[in-house]
Amino acid sequence: MSNDHPLGQTPSQTVGPFFAYGLTPEQYGYNWPSIAGPEMADEATAGERIIFEGCVFDGAGQPVTDALIEIWQADGAGTYATAQGRNTGFTGFGRAGTGVAGDGVFRFATIKPGAPSATEAPHINIILTMRGLLMHTFTRAYFDGEARNARDPVLAQVPADRRSTLLARQSAPGVWRFDIHMQGESETVFFDL
């Protein structure tokens, strides 16, 4: 190979790891627009501003630096962006890669969601795509200490000893941490949708 061509991903890598920067090109410094990014709320958005972040860990406990995280959530009042009366400046959908800083961390600037209904607890819906997965996986992040977690119908279906894998914890003021473990003792609960 000549030195005139930069090394890169090849089409033979059909499961990845090229999708993260292919679907979030701006985050990886490419000069074409992304249809979604990690900034989900602007200055006009009502609600409590938060950073929602975490790391994806493989079965050996190592950070996965080529995963793609997509989140969908309600606004601070519990309204999804697809419904009428949506919150000004709030997209409700975000996409981030875990290889941007090289540390395997994903980070979203959003607002803390409200409860979508009287029976549901505030939560963030998550889709994960990464190397080695032929299909994306689905999970949810609930907020540790939220009183409504006890009556959420989805969380109630998860065995009590596994519910902690679905809890985001406040790591600093305004920062909620949700690590995703693909395998092992702390394996995150994934949903079959």
Structure tokens that stand for 74 in this block: 């309600």
Query: Which is it for strands 105-111 and 49-57: parallel, antiparallel or unpaired?
Result: antiparallel
Min mean pLDDT across 84-88, 109-113, 130-134 is at 84-88
Mean pLDDT, all residues of the chain? 86
Question: What is the domain range of residue 144?
Answer: 19-181
Q: Which residue has the higher pLDDT, 20 or 43?
A: 43
Number of C-beta neighbours around residue 161 at 10 A: 7
Number of domains in the chain: 1
Cα separation, 188 vs 179, whole angstroms: 8
CATH code where residue 47 lies:
2.60.130.10
Percentage of residues of the chain with pLDDT beyond 90: 58
Which helix (H) or strand (E) segment holds residue 93: the answer is strand 93-97
pLDDT in tens, 19-30: 656 677 777 777
Cα separation, 128 vs 180, whole angstroms: 9
Task: Note whether residue 10 is domain-resident.
Answer: no
Name the pTM for this structure.
Answer: 0.85
Beta bridge partners of 95: 70
For residue 17, the model assigns a pLDDT of 53
C-beta separation of 141 from 123 below 8 A: yes
